[in-house]
Chains A and B, each alone.
Chain A
Amino acid sequence: MNGGADILLVEDNPADVELTLRAFKKNRLSNKIHVARDGVEALEFLFAEDRPVDALSVVLLDVKMPRMDGLEVLQRIRADERTRHLPVVMMTSSSEESDRISSYDLGANSYIVKPVDFENFTEAVRVIGTYWLLLNKPSVVSERSVTV
């Protein structure tokens, strides 16, 4: 798994979704981006029968969301054999230290505070994209042999 090139963006704020998609486009990152509008939708996507999770390279996960927040989603991702090694980048508006610590405690790979300025935001997305889509080598675990 997670040898794919797709991205899962979990974000409840429609403006942030649009801006993130725009930033990806501006950086000519043409990878397919799946959008989940809250934590519940994210889990539904990740653990769907047809295993779309196999096509993912990284999850961009907002922290504060209605219904189920990003920290709980992260916890569920790490607790499940199928998604245990999936790279998760927490992307949040808040610079709250407690969130950052909880995120790393729960096994986040990275924690990004989304800049207010769009140019800085675009640059952040470029760096994230380049790193997780091009440079990072995913963990090679024989998850494909895990019976579903």
Chain B
Amino acid sequence: MTSVTHSPLRPLDPDGVGLFEAIVATVREPLLALDSHLDIRLANRAFHEFFGAAADRVEGANLFEIGDGLWDIPPLLALLEQVVSSRTPFEDYAVEAMRPGVGTRSLLLNARLLDMDGHAFILLALEDVTERDGLERLVSERTAELEAFNYSVSHDLRAPLRALNGFSRALIEDCSDELSDEGQRYLGLIRSNANQMGALIDGLLAFSRLGRQGMVRGPVDVRRVVGEVVRELEPELEDRTVEIVLGDLPPVDADPVLLRQVYANLIGNALKFTRGTASARIEVGSRIVGGERVWSVGDNGVGFDMAFAGKLFQTFQRLHRSDDYEGTGIGLALVRLIVQRHGGEISADAVEGRGATFSFTLPEERE
């Protein structure tokens, strides 16, 4: 490169301390100021720290000569020339650079033109994204592993359960003469436990799938959703008198499939835990609290001890013995995850022996 005489960089504010130099020096990312010949006029401290001795005396040198031609990349040259000629800035131009003593790093370059005292300069910023790239790769690898694991769980674990269940049943049917009542009872236990494990696996998969699934929010007729959920649960209402009261249920902006799941779990729970209540009553509604709509499902069932409320929404945590109330310990964890994905919160309030109320919010999506 031919050497040209350049005017020295001067502060933007002649009375000040050099706003420009101050900014360049303060920024944590390595930063260069080049003139229109792509000669380096200024390299900040971060640049010197990043390249160490290799960055000594870069000021005055041409960008494409420093660091053994590290920056001598024709497409980059073309981009930089465009910055000068047509004032077109560029962002996120990826290069690999050897950082002395550290190794190869992935850098993203941003550049734009800056006019100062009638001179045009290119500001060239470097961002080291090596770690971020590595993390992203790790996340996508782990996600793929998790999906393979889910697939395997859903397929490979269910098949043996079906065999356990089916052959226990076959034993009861074909060999009942040779089995004592106790023996038949044991087989019944094997079957119901295999079913329970099947339900656990299904619940767990639903939980993990929810974490990966996209959410589609739209207007939901909550009253209709609740009505449908109640109708689906009707088989459980046989031989029972349960008063189900629907309160204020205006339309809401939510994912219809997921919101239905919330009500199915909460109303299903309410039905389950009012099983022993003489005049069971379930209230589904909403009210405005502090300017925000709070949705709730309440019952007058067995409730629970608030001392254990912290465990309520955790996966596999149960507050009732399974011989009293069946369950997998996944339902409420799933409900909380759905509410959280809507940006809302869920809480429970209960009195042992008197009932429980679950309240949640579904904040409007902010654009």
Chain A positions within 8 Å of B, measured between CB atoms, are 13, 15-16, 19, 22, 63-64, 92-97, 114-119, 121
B163 within 8 Å of A (CB atoms): yes
Q: How far is the CB of B208 from chain A (nearest CB, A)?
A: 12
B321 within 8 Å of A (CB atoms): no
Q: Mark B343-361, 1 if CB is under 8 A from A, else 0.
A: 0000000000000000000
With contact pairs A15-B166, A95-B202, A121-B162 given, residues A116 and B155 touching in the complex (Cβ less than 8 Å) = no
Cβ–Cβ contact A15 & B205, under 8 A = no
With contact pairs A95-B202, A117-B195 given, residues A15 and B167 touching in the complex (Cβ less than 8 Å) = yes
Cβ–Cβ contact B154 & A116, under 8 A = no
Q: A80–B238 Cα gap in the complex (Å)?
A: 52
Q: Mark B121-158, 1 if CB is under 8 A from A, else 0.
A: 00000000000000000000000000000110011101
Known pairs A93-B162, A97-B209, A119-B169. 7 more at Cβ < 8 A?
A15-B159, A16-B163, A64-B155, A94-B151, A116-B158, A116-B198, A118-B191
Q: How far is the CB of B136 from chain A (nearest CB, A)?
A: 23
Q: A114–B159 Cα gap in the complex (Å)?
A: 9
Pairs A–B under 8 Å by Cβ, sample size 19: A15-B160, A15-B162, A16-B159, A64-B155, A92-B155, A93-B155, A93-B162, A94-B158, A96-B151, A96-B154, A114-B158, A117-B165, A117-B191, A117-B195, A118-B162, A118-B169, A118-B191, A119-B169, A121-B166
Contacts of B151 in A (CB 8 A): 94, 96
Q: Mark B158-185, 1 if CB is under 8 A from A, else 0.
A: 1111110111011000000000000000
Q: How far is the CB of A128 from chain B (nearest CB, A)?
A: 16
Point out which of B156, B163, B194 has the most chain A C-beta atoms below 10 A from its C-beta: B163
Contacts of B166 in A (CB 8 A): 15, 19, 22, 118, 121
Point out which of B156, B167, B169, B194 has the most chain A C-beta atoms below 10 A from its C-beta: B169
Q: A139–B319 Cα gap in the complex (Å)?
A: 56
With contact pairs A93-B155, A94-B155 given, residues A116 and B170 touching in the complex (Cβ less than 8 Å) = no
CB-based closest 4 A-B pairs: A116-B198, A15-B163, A94-B155, A118-B166
Cβ–Cβ contact B155 & A117, under 8 A = no
Cβ–Cβ contact B154 & A115, under 8 A = no
Cβ–Cβ contact A16 & B162, under 8 A = yes
Q: How far is the CB of B222 from chain A (nearest CB, A)?
A: 26
Contacts of A95 in B (CB 8 A): 154, 202, 205
Contacts of B205 in A (CB 8 A): 95
Closest partner residue, chain B, to A15 (CB atom): B163
Closest partner residue, chain A, to B156 (CB atom): A93
**CB within 8 Å of A: which B178-220 residues:** 191, 194-195, 198, 202, 205, 209
Cβ–Cβ contact B155 & A19, under 8 A = no
Q: A116–B195 Cα gap in the complex (Å)?
A: 6
Contacts of A13 in B (CB 8 A): 159, 163
Q: A97–B150 Cα gap in the complex (Å)?
A: 12
Contacts of B195 in A (CB 8 A): 116-117
Contacts of B150 in A (CB 8 A): 96
Closest partner residue, chain A, to B194 (CB atom): A116
Contacts of B156 in A (CB 8 A): 93
Cβ–Cβ contact A93 & B158, under 8 A = yes
Q: How far is the CB of A113 from chain B (nearest CB, A)?
A: 9
Q: How far is the CB of A51 from chain B (nearest CB, A)?
A: 32
Closest partner residue, chain B, to A12 (CB atom): B159
Q: A140–B209 Cα gap in the complex (Å)?
A: 42
Q: How far is the CB of B171 from chain A (nearest CB, A)?
A: 11
With contact pairs A116-B194, A117-B195 given, residues A93 and B159 touching in the complex (Cβ less than 8 Å) = yes
Contacts of A63 in B (CB 8 A): 155
Contacts of A119 in B (CB 8 A): 169
